Structures are given as structure tokens and as C-alpha cells.
A and B are shown apart, each in its own frame.
Chain A
Amino acid sequence: MAKKKILLVDDERDLVEAVKFRLEANDYDVIAAYDGQEALDKARKEKPDLIILDLMLPKMDGYKVCAMLKRDSRYSTIPIIMFTARAGDSDAKLGKEMGADAYITKPFEPKALLDTIKELIK
């Protein structure tokens, strides 16, 4: 069975490298994007099975990327996990309003991230 593809979006390259390594060790294919525009382009081109999206991005912030993908019927079914600063904050509420399927606070427990991915990815 083909490996599931995850689009990982964060402008912190160090973090992307670490998370990519972990996800690949858990048998996922990972594509990285480092800003909002690149995230949109790659999402449309690669059609990933799941997107992990940070909020603070250059060129276009995470909320906007999420909203745009969810509004487009071609991509709205792709589950989106948002990286937020702190759960229970207005960040998370706004994320849910924009259509995010889940949110993970930074710094996160690796198990929490992997479990959430498993739950959402089909």
C-alpha cells in the first residue's frame, strides 16, 4: 500500500528537519513548505493526505492558508492540523473557525502528534 503523504509547513527549518525525520521513521512521506504561498502551491500540486500547518508564516499566515484550502472543494477534504502557541487561547478558537481539524500546541509531545495524525489520516 502506498505511503501516506504529509505536507509539513513551518518557517522554522530546524523544526521541519526534526519532525520530517520522525514522520519518515513512522512510515510517512513528507513534503516540506516554508511559507504560506509555498504551502498553497504544494498542497494543490501534491494533494497530500494530511497537512501540518504552523500559524506564523511569511507571505501568508496559517489561518489564511487553512481558510483557502477549506473553501476549495478540491482540497477541503484534506485534514489540517494546526500548530498553535497555546491551547484554550483565542488562537485555537480561530483555528477551529477557519476549519482546522485539530490543533497541537508547541512544544508538543511526539506521541500526541503521531496519534492525532493517525486519527485524521484516512
Chain B
Amino acid sequence: MFAKFCLMGNKKAQEFLELSDFNSSLIKTIPFGLDIVDENGNILFLNKAMESIVGRDAIGKKCWELYRDDRKQCKDCPLIKGIKVGETSSINSGGVLGGKTFRISHTGMVYHGKKSVLEIFQDVTEFIAIQKKLKQANEELSAALKVKSEFTSMVSHELRTPLTAIKEGIGIVFDGTAGSLTKEQTEFLSIAKRNVDRLARLINDILDFQKLEAGVIAFNIQENSINETVKEACKMMTGLAGEKGLKLVLNLDEKLPRLKFDKDKITQVLENLVNNAVKFTKNGSITVVTRREDNAVHVSVEDTGLGIKEEDLPRLFQKFSQLESGLERKTGGSGLGLAISKEIIEKHKGKIWAESKEGKGSAFHFLLPIAERKG
């Protein structure tokens, strides 16, 4: 070392000393055990942190004899494969220091002329325990959602049963099958009938949403044309729009690739969005647009309706969210349509959002990712 020192110029010597200083400070400061072992696992060097882990008389002893509960070499010990100088990798070693798990990162190097391995030991026992707890909690949550979903199915069936009898009872009187009615009788029966239907829709939506949330709905993902799906969904909606004197316009990019999605479910989303647009638009038009956007297809339903207040925007896709104006409830919505649409789009790994300016209309957008073709 002294010879080397003399041979270098002053500047180089200074750099050398600084590097040396840096290295020793590094070894002293890192909060992990560090050692250097030879090809046979004998410890050649260890830092203070490692000393407090395995004891002071470690030099010359085999690392696993001091460190492992079973005193045997680690299953994936890097020495088994032979040392490659400059190569770094890591293994997890359990059954260490009283059942703990350590992550050992190691690099092949040359130490005092011998091929050796530098090892750094990180205690990951707690981390692994937390990971396990998290996995368990997720499994419990999943199971709970399924139980909730079964309960909801049962309840919805029980609710539908008397509802059917009520609907039939009212219907028979309302449409004159049981005799003619006065104007007032017709009017009030009509109110009852409307609300029976509303209740039925609400029950369906709750069940739908529950099942989606619990992941018990099997999605039928097939290759489909999004434009065809849009056209079919809108065919049914054109009548509804026409009744209010609204135009339903389609602006579809003909060069879109075929996507993989569940046709029924995406139709449900489109119907929900167009239905909402019709509900909240007094005059003008509703436009459905499809276009390519990077690695996805972008679909938007734009209307010239009332628009949505800025403060209502963030809560739109939540369960049972109703707008400030109460208009949603007045028009018989269940408050779940958008929540259901969000679940469907997100289960397709897509994104759904809304943009609006109060008084100027709204636009509801969703993205469906294009599946990467393999090969």
C-alpha cells in the first residue's frame, strides 16, 4: 500500500484516501449485517452489525454454523453454484436465528486475493408476516362479499315474490280487465303501477351491483366489434330519444380493431349512459362517439342537456348517489346505474369518467383496453 501511495501523485493519493474513508464509513454505518465468506463458507470479515448478530468469534467459522437454526448450509446458498466475481443476487433464508427469515444479498468478489462472496443480511421476518396477514385479510373480505351476495340474492327473491302479486293485482284493475275505471281511479293506480316498476328495477340493480362487487358474475369475454354493440344498443334507445324530440347521433370510427369484452355487460353500460343522457336532456341531441386512443378504444356519450354541477361530479359513480337537484330520484332512477357501469368497466380493466359544464351538457367517457395479440 505504501509503495502504491508513493507512486501516485498527490491528487490521486488524496482521492484514494477519500475512497478508503468512504468504504470504511459505509461498512460501519449500514444497518445490516455484512460479511465476506470464502468458497467454503468460512467467514473472512464481518462488520459490527454482523458481529451483534452472530457473535464476536466468527472469523474462520462457517457462516451457517453460527447463523442457521439447523446449522446446515442454506438451501439456495450462493456458494453451491460457485462464485462468479461481479455477479449480484439475493435469496430468502428462513430458519435463522430462532425462526427468523433474512434476505441475503450477495456479490462475488476478490478479497485478499481469494475468490469470495460479500453478503448483506436483511431481517424480513416481520415483512413476510405482514404480507401473510394481508393475504388472509383479502381472502376473508372476498369470502364475506360472497356471503353478502348470497344473502342479497335470497332477499331479492323474497322481495320479488310479493311484488309480482302486487303488480298483477294493480295491472288487472288498471287495464280494465276487472271492469271500467273512473279517471281518478286510473290516475292513482297509474302512480302505484309506476312505483311498483321502480321498486322492481331497484331490486334488480341492487342484486346486479352486489354480484359484481362480489365477483360472482362470470364475464363472457369474447372478441366483439364495439361499433356493432353501440349500434345495437342505440337501436333500442332511438325510440326513447325520439319521444322527447331528441336526436340520437352515432359518430363511429370505422377503423377500430376488434376488442375483447362481454357484449351483454357493455351493452348494459351503453344503455345506462344513453338512458341517463335522454333523461337529463330537454332538447338537442345525444351523440355516441367511438375512436382509437393509444392502446384503448374510447367511447363517449355526449348530450346537450342540463349538465352536472362541479361538486356533484366526484360522487357520480358511487352507490345510491343522487344529484343535488333530486332529478334522478324524480325520474325513477335507482341511483345504482353508474355504480354498476363503473364495476363493469373496471372489471374489463378500463376506465370510466364524466365531464360536464352546468347548463352546457355532459359527456360520459369510458376506455376499453385493446388486448395485446400474442405471437
Give A residues with C-beta under 8 Å from B: 12, 14-15, 18-19, 21-22, 25, 56, 85-86, 88, 106-108, 110
Q: In residues 138-181 of chain B, which contact A (Cβ within 8 Å)?
A: 156-157, 160-169, 171-172, 175, 177-178
Q: Which of A25, A56, A86, A107 contacts B163 (CB 8 A)?
A: A107
Q: Mark B190-206, 1 if CB is under 8 A from A, else 0.
A: 00000010001000100
| Contacting pair A107 B175 (CB below 8 A) | no
7 A-B pairs with C-beta separation under 8 A: A12-B164, A21-B172, A21-B177, A22-B168, A25-B178, A88-B264, A110-B172
Q: Which of A15, A21, A107 has the most CB of B within 10 A?
A: A107
The complex places the Cα of A71 from the Cα of B180 at a distance, in Å, of 45
Q: Is the interface of B mostly helix, strand, loop or mixed?
A: helix
Q: Given A88-B264, A107-B196, A110-B175, is A18 in contact with B204 using a C-beta cutoff of 8 Å? A: no
The complex places the Cα of A25 from the Cα of B172 at a distance, in Å, of 10
Interface range on chain B (Cβ under 8 Å from partner)? 20 to 34
Query: A-B pairs with the 3 shortest C-beta distances?
Result: A18-B168, A107-B164, A14-B165
Residues of chain A within 8 A (CB-CB) of B264 are 88
The complex places the Cα of A61 from the Cα of B175 at a distance, in Å, of 33
| Contacting pair A22 B172 (CB below 8 A) | yes
| Contacting pair B167 A107 (CB below 8 A) | yes
Q: Which of B156, B168, B177, B200 contacts A25 (CB 8 A)?
A: B177
| Contacting pair B172 A106 (CB below 8 A) | no
State the total of A-B contacts with C-beta under 8 angstroms: 50
Q: Which of B160, B161, B163, B169 has the most CB of A within 10 A?
A: B161
Residues of chain A within 8 A (CB-CB) of B166 are 107
B162 to chain A, nearest CB (A): 8
| Contacting pair B178 A106 (CB below 8 A) | no
The complex places the Cα of A18 from the Cα of B164 at a distance, in Å, of 10
Residues of chain B within 8 A (CB-CB) of A21 are 172, 177-178
Q: Which of B165, B169, B204 has the most CB of A within 10 A?
A: B165
| Contacting pair A18 B169 (CB below 8 A) | yes
The complex places the Cα of A106 from the Cα of B163 at a distance, in Å, of 8
A115 to chain B, nearest CB (A): 14
The complex places the Cα of A85 from the Cα of B168 at a distance, in Å, of 16
Instruction: Select from chain A the residue with minimum beta-carbon distance to B171.
Output: A110
Residues of chain A within 8 A (CB-CB) of B172 are 18, 21-22, 25, 110
Residues of chain B within 8 A (CB-CB) of A85 are 156-157, 160
Judge whether B308 is part of the interface by a CB distance below 8 angstroms: no
- 5 additional A-B residue pairs with CB within 8 Å, beyond A15-B168, A86-B204: A15-B164, A15-B165, A18-B168, A108-B164, A110-B171
The complex places the Cα of A85 from the Cα of B204 at a distance, in Å, of 10
The complex places the Cα of A86 from the Cα of B169 at a distance, in Å, of 21
Judge whether B352 is part of the interface by a CB distance below 8 angstroms: no
Instruction: Select from chain A the residue with minimum beta-carbon distance to B207.
Output: A86
A111 to chain B, nearest CB (A): 9
Residues of chain A within 8 A (CB-CB) of B162 are 14
B169 to chain A, nearest CB (A): 5
| Contacting pair B200 A107 (CB below 8 A) | yes
| Contacting pair B175 A18 (CB below 8 A) | no
B195 to chain A, nearest CB (A): 12
| Contacting pair A12 B207 (CB below 8 A) | no
Residues of chain A within 8 A (CB-CB) of B171 are 22, 110
Instruction: Select from chain A the residue with minimum beta-carbon distance to B177.
Output: A25
